[in-house]
Amino acid sequence: MNKKAYILFTRIPTPNKVKTRLQPKLTGEEAAQVQLELLKDSFIKFETLKNNGIDLFLAYSDEADPTIFLKSLPENFESFPQIGETIGERMDNAIKTIFAKGYEQVILTGSDIPNLNQKILQQAFANLEEVVIGPSADGGYYLIGSTSLIDLSLIFQSKIDWGKQAVLQTTIAILSKSKIYLLPTLKDIDYPEDLLEAIEHSRKDNHFFNRWLEENRGLIL
């Protein structure tokens, strides 16, 4: 077992359950397909992190039976279900689950950030003294991680409105006594305009997502 662990935190791509803010521009099935393509790219981009001393985990939600979805998971990933009523509780429990296995550094990210890559994750681990955060363009963050000596429950058990612009600012205030390293700001995919922007700015290594964008330009423009 390595001492570093990465958690890809995701919802199972289920029509009308995921990426609902892409509707009504997209149908429920099309929105779920966007989520699936982003995940498929993430599996490819991150599966070799294990060769660099980082163990890989997928924390999945309970929108649907995960059996078929998990069959597409690369063997380098170990999966486990999310537990909790709120997204804060689910992230908190996911991180605690991995620390309980004996890891010293744990980083968690969302699954809908097209331009997240290995270089950024390695930068996060390399600069993780106490806490590392990857800000997102909407005022939240796409990545959070800490060492085993820092209790991130202070964040997740707080009454943070995870859908608002003050999430990052509030989190930094709660962790003001910790040493925080901030990564480059990235954009996630929440709204139809994010897809439109991604046509111009999605990295070339997003093979599945880029193909979806090309094949569905008529839906986006």
| pLDDT value of residue 208 | 97
| pLDDT value of residue 163 | 66
Confidence of residue 203 (pLDDT cuts 50, 70, 90): very high
Q: What angle do CA 73, 96, 57 make, to 5 degrees?
A: 15
For helices 207-215 and 28-46, angle between their N-to-C axes, nearest 10 degrees: 150
State the CB neighbour count (10 A cutoff) for residue 137.
Answer: 13
What mean pLDDT comes out for the span 169-185?
95
Task: Judge residue 159's burial from the number of C-beta atoms within 10 Å of its C-beta, 0-12 exposed, 13-18 middle, 19 or more buried.
Answer: exposed
State the virtual CA torsion across 41, 42, 44, 49 in degrees, nearest 10: 160
Report the C-alpha gap between 122 and 44 in whole angstroms. Answer: 16
Percent of the chain at pLDDT > 70 equals 99
Whose CA is closest to 102, among 47, 69, 58, 55? Answer: 55
Instruction: Tell whether pTM > 0.75.
Output: yes
**Dihedral angle sign, alpha carbons of residues 130, 58, 119, 144:** negative
- Cβ contacts of 86 within 8 Å, gap of 6 or more: 162
Tens digit of pLDDT for each residue in 62-72?
888 999 999 98
CATH code at 4-213: 3.90.550.10
**Dihedral angle sign, alpha carbons of residues 175, 57, 39, 46:** positive
Tens digit of pLDDT for each residue in 131-154?
999 999 989 999 999 999 999 998
- 24 prior amide bond cis, ω within 30: yes
